């Protein structure tokens, strides 16, 4: 019969574990849908609220023993099929992208500060915003052909309904950046994972996920 691990053993396990965090995109969508054409003051209040909650959750995990944080930032949400169908031209919605970019800047600043304030905390931020931006602007280089429409859905850009058993499916899903109106395809997810793990620094920082995982961290 296996014995139960003691507190020190659990703490060592947690300190070496990778805590993967991806948050913010749905919050930006919800904020913009509830606040049509928000002014700078409203946006600033939203950022402060988000970062305050983000910080509290990170500190809670840290208090439980977490030390390694792999963070995936907010993607280029204004270019998701769900956003494009709201635009009469089917183009990206710049306001959404700017909000995502602003929140990402605040998240980067937060982790830079926490790494100083919390002994032993290490982090790596996977730049999902830049990965998606690069895949859309240079699709052939990254192995894609369709960067606007979803593979699974219906209606305009295949993005006016969710992916259901009755939805329309694309034939060559590996050529699509988006699986459905909101989510990346498997091919796009594999690309992002590889770039976060190996780099270059354009897509991940201040260290790669690989460096984060295998770098020994002194216990606090």
Residue 200: other Cβ atoms inside 10 A: 9
pTM of the model: 0.90
The 10s digit of each residue's pLDDT in 51-91 is: 999 999 999 999 999 999 999 999 999 999 999 999 989 99
| pLDDT at residue 220 greater than cutoff 50 | no
**Residue in this structure with the two tokens 């730049």, named with its chain if needed:** 127
C-alpha distances in Å from residue 73, one per residue of 128, 130, 173, 186, 220: 6, 10, 24, 18, 26
């Amino acid at each position: 019969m296996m014995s139960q691990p003691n507190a020190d053993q659990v703490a060592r396990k947690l300190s070496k574990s990778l805590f993967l965090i991806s948050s913010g995109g749905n919050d930006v969508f919800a904020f913009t849908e509830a606040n049509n054409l928000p002014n700078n003051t409203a946006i600033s209040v939203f950022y402060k609220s988000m970062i305050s909650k983000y910080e509290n959750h990170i500190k809670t995990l840290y208090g439980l023993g977490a030390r390694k944080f792999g963070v995936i930032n907010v993607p280029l949400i204004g270019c998701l099929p769900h956003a494009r169908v709201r635009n009469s031209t089917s183009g990206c919605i710049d306001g959404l992208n700017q909000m995502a970019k602003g929140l990402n800047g605040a998240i980067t600043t937060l982790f830079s500060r926490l790494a100083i304030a919390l002994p032993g905390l290490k982090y790596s931020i996977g730049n999902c915003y830049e990965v998606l931006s690069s895949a859309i602007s240079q699709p052939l280089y990254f192995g894609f052909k369709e960067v606007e429409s979803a593979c699974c859905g219906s209606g305009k850009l295949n993005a006016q309904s969710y992916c259901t058993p009755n939805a329309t499916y694309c034939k060559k899903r590996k050529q699509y950046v988006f699986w459905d109106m909101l989510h990346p395809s498997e091919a796009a997810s594999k690309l992002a994972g590889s770039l976060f793990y190996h780099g270059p620094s354009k897509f991940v920082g201040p260290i790669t996920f690989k460096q984060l995982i295998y770098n020994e961290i002194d216990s606090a």
